[in-house]
Chain A
Amino acid sequence: MSSVAKSTAHSIVEASPRVKTFAGMIVVLYALIAILPLVWITATAFKSQSDAIAYPPKIIFQPTLEGYVNLFTVRTRQTRDFIANLPPASTWYDKLVRQHDMVIAGPSKVVPRFVNSLVIGFGSTFLAVFLGTLSAYAFSRFRIPLADDLLFFILSTRMMPPVAVAIPIYLMYRELNLTDTRLGMILLYTAVNVSLAVWLLKGFIDEIPREYEEAALVDGYTRLQAFRKVVLPQAVTGIAATAIFCLIFSWNEYAFAVLLTSGDAQTMPPFIPFIIGEGGQDWPAVAAATTLFVIPIVLFTILLRKHLLRGITFGAVRK
């Protein structure tokens, strides 16, 4: 099973053109249906409040940026007279808001939440990949007592339900004043991501021939120099792929974020569902936030295509 041939098209068993077309049609149909929810959300972001909650749901509508404006601002309702007495709207978004008898009162919390997502995401990714690379190299190249048990222990930390993990973490962070801090979230996400990083990077480093290092050692490099100047440059692709996987995890994580943060360190996932307007969820604004939140993931998915399989199976399946 472990060393089987590459995937070339089946020679005498290659599918006939008709079978291919048929298979293609079903797959494309599935893909289109699967993408539909995402298309709907992207479209909802450009609907006006009334179009978004119209019955029956509107497919054709007048696009507007209201959703995005509402996402980034806090508005107050004013009387027509009050608005008429204001100096003329200076920007396009002021104008848009005034059409609905409102004035902008200030920026919303979305930017700080987005910044939290970025800081916590990149911080934990950097730490996890840094620690993971070192450990993976040691596991890959040195004889370590109980290596398999240690590796399994590192992986088993991922099997706990996040809600279960959050109970003692909550108590611990309360003692250490780490609840609702970016540092606390970075440490927690690093701990979760490091298991993925070690397993993935060990696979990548295993694939780098040892002969390169040996040659360097014979040439008089120390082990650390060989690691830095020979192994690391070879492992760059693997490190980058691992980093993106860690980043996606931290970016998407919800359970820890909702249980351990409430304001200062809150990230986007627990924030998005609570974007509310007058009378319930402000769907165009929620959709706008979702779109902005999802775009980086879509780009990363396309970038990661080749390594996706490895990442989602902790390196168990490689191509």
Chain B
Amino acid sequence: MTTILQSESPADRFREQPSFRVAARVRGLSDRTIAWLFIAPTIALLLAINIFPLIWMIRLSFTSLNLSMSYLPLRFVGLDNFSDILTDEDVWLRLQTTARFVVCSVALQVVVGFGLALLINRQFRGHSFWTTMILLPMMLSPAVVGNFWTLLFQPQIGPFNSLVGLFTGAAPSSFSMTGEVALAPWTIVLVDTWMWAPYVMLICLAGLRSIPDYIYEAAEVHRASPWRQFWSITLPMTLPFLMLAVLFRAIENFKMFDMVNLLTAGGPGSTTELVSITLKRLAFEKWRTGYSSALAIILFVTVFGAANIYVKVLNKVKQR
């Protein structure tokens, strides 16, 4: 049994089972008390660690607070930070870099991940062992991954360039994956795909396995070609799963900080400076807290809005 994005709310299910009211008559704490007792600590923690700081940040985003000059009195500047950011050419460039990274890496992960899922779904001998092997990279710490890929990409001592040299005949020290403006954006896409293609694969595999056999059997009876079967059965029926994977990956990659910060630190120049890295520089190196709070809020609203629209589309696809 496979379910995707439960639409059924707990309340619906409660209504389905009226016999459950038996509980109300039982001695001890009332159900309502228990319900709130059980939820309150979680909500309290989230209020303290997430919501309170968020509100504080919203307040700060209207100020010119700079922590390296915190002796200055707190000055409210209204929406200046927001208008500064939205007219700042650099910020737009960083957002473009981020968008390109998100689109390229997610697209590549979909191609590789879906391809692998199709192959694994053929259920050859030992497929479950090899699936686990393939899944390993996505469980690792992105920071540690970014760090050890810098060794692999070292022009002379790293094995990557030697391997490329072996196949293309190029001298291993003639190019640098992390140091060249033309290559660095592709380097972060490559490492991100290495890490996260298995993620897309795993979700697609669940999608493929949810397609009942009788549909394929009917297609066989009607002599539909494998090509036709793929386009009219496999792909449409896996689509909700694929879109879910794309949603999760797009959000995660939009937030990307750790792996890229250690692999290229935004360099060379600012060719791989994703918006999270910009934010870190503004907030924790230049200490422009007011300005960076405003940027953080813009980013959050962007992710949140995009995710909401996407989930709506996803639900439509699911209902078809």
Interface positions of A (Cβ within 8 A of B): 1-13, 15, 19-21, 23-24, 26-28, 30-31, 34-35, 37-38, 40-41, 44, 52-57, 131-132, 134-135, 137-144, 147-148, 150, 153-154, 156-157, 159-172, 187-188, 190-191, 194-195, 198, 202-203, 206, 210, 213-214, 217-218, 221-225, 248, 251-255, 258-259, 269-270, 272-273, 283, 286-287, 290, 293-294, 297-298, 300-302, 305, 308-309, 312-313, 316-319
Docked CA distance A8–B216 (Å): 13
B27 to chain A, nearest CB (A): 6
Q: Give chain B residues whose Cβ lies under 8 Å from the Cβ of A254.
A: 141-143, 257-258, 261-262
Contact B19 A290 (CB under 8 A): no
If A159-B300, A163-B276, A300-B139 are given as contacts, then 15 extra A-B residue pairs at C-beta distance below 8 Å, sorted by A number, are A24-B124, A34-B137, A55-B172, A56-B172, A135-B42, A138-B39, A142-B32, A143-B11, A154-B42, A161-B255, A161-B296, A224-B29, A309-B206, A313-B203, A317-B3
A39 to chain B, nearest CB (A): 10
A318 to chain B, nearest CB (A): 5
A172 nearest in chain B by CB position: B53
Assuming the contacts A57-B162, A131-B45, A290-B148, asked whether A10 and B276 have C-beta atoms less than 8 A apart, the reply is no
Interface positions of B (Cβ within 8 A of A): 1-6, 9-11, 13-14, 17, 19-20, 22-23, 26-29, 31-32, 34-39, 41-43, 45-46, 48-50, 52-54, 56-57, 60, 116, 119-120, 122-128, 130, 132-144, 147-149, 151-152, 156-159, 162, 172-173, 194, 198-199, 202-203, 206, 209-214, 216-217, 219-220, 240-241, 244, 248, 251, 254-255, 257-258, 261-262, 276, 279-280, 283-284, 289, 292-293, 295-297, 299-300, 303-304, 307, 318
- 5 smallest beta-carbon distances between A and B, as pairs: A222-B28, A164-B296, A168-B53, A24-B124, A254-B143
Assuming the contacts A210-B20, A222-B29, A301-B136, asked whether A198 and B42 have C-beta atoms less than 8 A apart, the reply is yes
B253 to chain A, nearest CB (A): 11
Docked CA distance A102–B157 (Å): 25
Contact A31 B130 (CB under 8 A): yes
Q: Give chain A residues whose Cβ lies under 8 Å from the Cβ of B172.
A: 55-56
A300 nearest in chain B by CB position: B139
Docked CA distance A3–B210 (Å): 9
Docked CA distance A82–B56 (Å): 60
A118 to chain B, nearest CB (A): 15
Docked CA distance A242–B20 (Å): 27
10 of the cross-chain contacts (CB-CB < 8 Å) are: A131-B41, A134-B39, A134-B42, A138-B38, A139-B39, A163-B296, A191-B46, A298-B139, A317-B203, A317-B244
Contact B213 A223 (CB under 8 A): no
Contact A159 B303 (CB under 8 A): yes
Docked CA distance A24–B127 (Å): 7
Which one of A161, A171, A259 has the greatest number of beta carbons of chain B within 10 Å? A161
Main secondary structure on B side of the interface with A: helix
A53 to chain B, nearest CB (A): 5
Docked CA distance A252–B35 (Å): 33
In the complex, which of the residues B32, B38, B147, B213 contacts A8, with contact meaning CB atoms closer than 8 Å?
Answer: B213
A289 to chain B, nearest CB (A): 9
Q: Give chain A residues whose Cβ lies under 8 Å from the Cβ of B132.
A: 301-302, 305
Q: Give chain A residues whose Cβ lies under 8 Å from the Cβ of B52.
A: 172
Contact B42 A294 (CB under 8 A): no
B190 to chain A, nearest CB (A): 11
B96 to chain A, nearest CB (A): 17
Docked CA distance A17–B9 (Å): 45
Contact B144 A53 (CB under 8 A): no
Which one of B1, B127, B142 has the greatest number of beta carbons of chain A within 10 Å? B1
Docked CA distance A5–B216 (Å): 13
Contact A20 B292 (CB under 8 A): no
B232 to chain A, nearest CB (A): 14
Contact B120 A27 (CB under 8 A): yes
Q: Give chain B residues whose Cβ lies under 8 Å from the Cβ of A258.
A: 143
Q: Give chain A residues whose Cβ lies under 8 Å from the Cβ of B219.
A: 13
Contact A317 B4 (CB under 8 A): yes
Docked CA distance A259–B26 (Å): 50
Q: Give chain A residues whose Cβ lies under 8 Å from the Cβ of B10.
A: 139-144, 147, 202
Contact B53 A27 (CB under 8 A): no
Assuming the contacts A1-B4, A1-B318, A224-B29, asked whether A165 and B53 have C-beta atoms less than 8 A apart, the reply is yes
B99 to chain A, nearest CB (A): 15
A110 to chain B, nearest CB (A): 14
Contact B123 A20 (CB under 8 A): yes
Docked CA distance A147–B35 (Å): 11
Q: Give chain A residues whose Cβ lies under 8 Å from the Cβ of B135.
A: 301, 308
Contact B220 A161 (CB under 8 A): no
Docked CA distance A187–B52 (Å): 14
Contact A167 B283 (CB under 8 A): yes
Contact A316 B244 (CB under 8 A): yes
Contact B50 A191 (CB under 8 A): yes
B229 nearest in chain A by CB position: A13
A231 to chain B, nearest CB (A): 12
Contact A217 B149 (CB under 8 A): no
Q: Give chain A residues whose Cβ lies under 8 Å from the Cβ of B34.
A: 138, 142, 223-224
Q: Give chain B residues whose Cβ lies under 8 Å from the Cβ of A148.
A: 9
Contact A272 B56 (CB under 8 A): no
Which one of A156, A159, A162, A298 has the greatest number of beta carbons of chain B within 10 Å? A159
